[in-house]
A and B are shown apart, each in its own frame.
Chain A
Amino acid sequence: MGRACGSDLASSKLDAMPQRIETLVMHDSSTPVLGDMEKGGSVVLTSVDRLVAAARSNSLWPLTFGLACCAIEMMSTVASRFDLARFGSEAFRATPRQADVMIIAGRLSKKMAPVLRQIYDQMPEPKWVISMGACASSGGVYNNYAIVQGADQVVPVDVYVPGCPPSPDALIFAVMKLQEKLRTRKVTSISQIGLSELLLPREKDEEVLA
């Protein structure tokens, strides 16, 4: 009896855990370009969105996801010579709960992919991903069985940065591109602003926490 109970508990725990990624999607799953949507929207909606977008884009807190040598350049981006703090991104968080943008820095092995996905799922909405370097973006020279050929097969990537590794300036340029993406998007409904995620608890979060 007790043994049966235990196995039930274990199986429910397994259900709550994010499933291991078995199959990898072969197409590019980057988010659609919002710039070519038609202009429009009410005055209130657009001004609220502009305010929210300004607040968000000027305080993008990155999540450190240093996987390889790109992480060294990521560190020097925050250091005094390049100073990512000028863009509101000085607070690198080691916890997904307090981060807005995940910087995948380095080659993503297939063993690391489920971990990356779990960390991504634990980040609160709204969230963005910068794929830094050739390996994270496409696999780079590591076209082999061990490396995921592009982090966009695991998480949706917003900005890709080529380079091996990208220089700190190139990463800052990518952060600027992401800020531009946040500022120039067009909203047509209140739900697109994404404030409801802050106010209402998500079912998904509860599942993960349980």
Chain B
Amino acid sequence: MSVEFFRDIAKPVVSGFGITAKRLKHRKVTVMYPEVKREQYPRTRWRHVLKRYDNGLEKCIGCSLCAGACPARCIYVEAAENTDEERYSAGERYAVRYEINMIRCIFCGYCQDACPTGAIVLQKDFELADYKRESFIYTKERLLEPLPQVV
């Protein structure tokens, strides 16, 4: 038990583990993801949703402004005229086909900015990974909000 032992071995070991002991008291930072989902930031942009009015009519009027604004060119809109028998949207026209290639989309939100009726909204559902490339073509049926429940 010499002075060298304490100076060269014991003291560094104690001070080294001291850092470990200090970190043990530290707040735990890991988000236990599948069980606990972290709170997304208010302006987070993920999966698109096509909105409806409260009476069930679609907000999308098939104007293709979203497709024009899209930098990745991943939106395809095909419009048709509304008739009195078959009315889908509040405007003159509605989107017969509305497709987003979700794997090409970069979630920039320009479509949301361009939309005159606020029909397309990027929400916070980020769990989009899938096995096949075909399954990333999100059709209108997948994008559209479900009909509001009639009370």
Interface residues, chain A, with chain B CB atoms under 8 Å away: 28, 30-31, 33, 80-83, 86, 134, 137-141, 143, 150, 152, 158-164, 166-167, 169-170, 172-174, 176-177, 181
Contact = CB atoms under 8 A, between A and B. Distances in A.
Interface SS of chain A: helix, strand, loop or mixed? Answer: loop
26 contacts: A28-B132, A28-B133, A30-B131, A31-B131, A80-B29, A81-B29, A86-B30, A86-B32, A134-B103, A134-B104, A134-B105, A138-B133, A139-B104, A150-B133, A160-B129, A160-B132, A164-B107, A169-B33, A169-B38, A169-B126, A169-B127, A170-B126, A172-B34, A174-B129, A176-B34, A177-B130
Contacts of A176: 34
B101 interface: yes
Contacts of A163: 46, 107, 126, 128
B30 A80 contact: yes
Interface of B: 29-34, 37-38, 46, 71-73, 101-108, 126-134, 136
A132 B46 CA distance: 15
A33 B132 contact: yes
A30 B127 contact: no
Pick the most buried of A28, A138, A161, A174: most chain B CB atoms within 10 A of its CB: A138
A141 B126 contact: no
B128 A162 contact: yes
Contacts of B127: 169-170, 173
A177 B33 contact: no
Given A82-B33, A163-B107, A140 B129 contact: no
Contact of B129 (A31, A83, A141, A162): A162
Given A81-B30, A134-B104, A167-B126, A177 B73 contact: no
A5 B104 CA distance: 51
Q: Which of B33, B107, B130 has the most CB of A within 10 A?
A: B33
Contact of B106 (A30, A31, A80, A140): A140
B131 A159 contact: yes
A161 B131 contact: no
A86 B31 CA distance: 11
